Every structure is written in structure tokens, then in C-alpha cells.
Amino acid sequence: MADEMQWPAILQLTQTAAVVVGGGFGIYRIGRNTQKTESAITRANEVASEQKKEMSDLKVEIRKLSEVLTAMAVTTTRVDNLSDGVTELRQLVNELRRGEGFIFPIGTHVPGSRNG
């Protein structure tokens, strides 16, 4: 009869041990997953911080590039204006060479001058 009483106690003890071991293993797995998740979140925050700094640097570079492009546009306009002036001067010189241009003697084209 003593043997009959020990089997239920042994089974109950085994069942309790299985629950404790299974629960401990589950808690271990949850803790391990939580640690992995926390490290992933920390890494994501670091990456976001690096990207924020890089975006700020890119904004500065874009501003500088914008300034350079504006300066180039102004320079291009100035060169175009100078080119138009040089073209006009060449045309006047060519007309004078062919005798088509007219040069007034000094003071004769001014109204009220002594020579005119």
C-alpha cells in the first residue's frame, strides 16, 4: 500500500517540476527576446540619430550648391552682356572701316558750340 501512495506523489512532484522548468524556460526565452528587441531599438535610435546628422549636413551642402549656382547664373548674365557689348563695338568699328559710320569733329555735333 505504501507503493500505491508514492506513485501519485511522484507524478504530482514530476508535474510540478515540469511546470516550473517549462515556466523558467519560457521566462528565459521572453527575457532573451526582450534583450534582442531592446538592442534592436537602441541600434535603430543610433541609426536615426546618424541619419538626422547626415540630413543636416546635406541641407548645408545644398545651400552652398544653391549659392554657387546663383553666382554662376549672375556670372553668365554678365558675360552675355559683355559679349553683346563687344559685338556692338565690333559692328561699329567695321562700319567705320567701310566708311558707313560717322564721326563728328570735336564740338561740331553739340548744339551751341563754336565750331557748329
User: Can you tell me the distance from the alpha carbon of 35 to that of 43, in angstroms, rounded to the nearest whole number?
Assistant: 12
Quote the pLDDT of residue 109: 60
- Is the predicted pLDDT of residue 107 greater than 70, yes or no? no
Which of 13-27 are b and which e, b meaning 16 or more Cβ less than 10 Å from the residue's Cβ?
A: eeeeeeeeeeeeeee
Q: Is the pLDDT of residue 1 over 60?
A: no
